[in-house]
Amino acid sequence: MDWKGWQRRWDRQQERYLPYREQSLEALVRCVEAVVCGQGRVLDLACGCGSVTACLLNRVPKLQVVGVDIDPVLLRIARGAFAGDARVRWIDRDLRDPRWAADLEPASFDAVVTATALHWLGESVLSRVYCDVAGLLRPGGVLVNADHMPLRSEVLSGAGSRLYAERFEAAADREDWDGWWEAISRKAGLADALEERERRFGRRRTHEFMPRSRGMYSISPVQAPLRRSFGGPLMKRSSPQ
Ligand SMILES: C[S@@+](CC[C@H](N)C(=O)[O-])C[C@H]1O[C@@H](n2cnc3c(N)ncnc32)[C@H](O)[C@@H]1O
């Protein structure tokens, strides 16, 4: 199975919905580069098939990365794409489970990164995950979240939406989410992971079993736990909606 090929195909599919994904991930990588000084430990939250980890390791080859996700198929692709690479470890966890980080050493990560995922968590879960992350970061470590974020200014959000619509239109001929899943579900060698995925989520698409959080769109309720949790800098990179 061409795992790296499936990872690349995932990236192209994601770029259809996130026209600025590459730039967003570039900003994320730069933030991590700035804090790790060539080596360190990074946690990739909701890592999918490992695309963010791949970007990080391309630029900072001495990193050690732990990837966490709930999707058995995406994790299988990540494991395949990085087979034999001792720098990475993939763990199957649901961030909604309060014990998801129980076996991760406190204060042991220089950076926690995540892309296009946390908006799927409800507000109370998101607040708790931020607190968990704060406990996992070493003093001075950073959380870098490349996700949809609210823009308070109507002028800016209007301009962002128009720009997004133009870019989205330009990428409309790319494979979409359903097409990608249909293609991967025809691949031999993934039957057990696909079966487990169906057992966990049914035939619903991810955004149907993870109702979109309103938390990211009215972020103020999570600010207090964030401030309490993080003594150091908190960096966020927003993607246009
Ligand atoms: C749009 S994908 C992004 C994947 C990856 N970060 C990337 O940018 O390619 C969102 C990811 O969040 C994961 N996810 C959603 N809810 C989760 C949860 N409760 N626990 C762990 N992972 C979750 C999904 O399985 C999926 O891999």
Minimum mean pLDDT among 63-72, 175-184, 199-208: which range?
199-208
Q: Which fold has domain 3-239?
A: Rossmann fold (3.40.50)
Nearest alpha carbon, ligand 1 atom 4: 48
Q: What is the pLDDT of residues 202-213, one digit of tens each?
A: 866 554 444 343
Minimum mean pLDDT among 28-32, 103-107, 209-213: which range?
209-213
What separation in angstroms does the CA of 34 have from each of 27, 28, 115, 140, 175? 11, 10, 18, 11, 34
Mutate to test the pocket of ligand 1, among 23, 69, 73, 128 (most ligand atoms within 8 A of CB): 69
**How far apart are the two ends of the chain, measured CA to CA in Å?**
34
Q: What spacing in Å lies between the alpha carbon of 155 and ligand 1's midpoint?
A: 30
- Among 152, 129, 132, 133, residue whose Cα is nearest residue 141: 133
Nearest alpha carbon, ligand 1 atom 14: 46
Which residue ranges make up each domain of the chain? 3-239
235 backbone dihedrals φ, ψ, rounded to 5°: -110, 135
Mean pLDDT of the chain: 85
Q: Between these two residues, 116 and 236, which has the higher pLDDT value?
A: 116
Distance CA 234, CA 240 (A): 19
Distance CA 97, CA 75 (A): 18
- Among 57, 35, 47, residue whose Cα is nearest residue 141: 35
Q: Is the CB of 52 under 6 A from ligand 1?
A: yes
Distance CA 139, CA 148 (A): 27
Minimum mean pLDDT among 39-48, 52-61, 190-199: which range?
190-199
Q: Is the CB of 47 under 6 A from ligand 1?
A: yes
Alpha-carbon 40 to chain mean position: 19
Looking at this protein, which amino acid is placed at residue 189? G
Distance CA 73, CA 181 (A): 10
User: Ranked by mean pLDDT, which of 37-51, 143-157, 204-218, 222-236 comes out on top?
Assistant: 37-51
Q: Is the CB of 132 under 6 A from ligand 1?
A: no
Which pLDDT value is given to residue 131?
95
189 pLDDT band, cuts 50/70/90, is confident
- Among 138, 149, 63, residue whose Cα is nearest residue 104: 138
Question: Percentage of residues in the chain with pLDDT exceeding 70?
Answer: 83
100 backbone dihedrals φ, ψ, rounded to 5°: -55, -30
Q: What is the pLDDT of residues 111-124, one digit of tens each?
A: 999 999 988 888 89
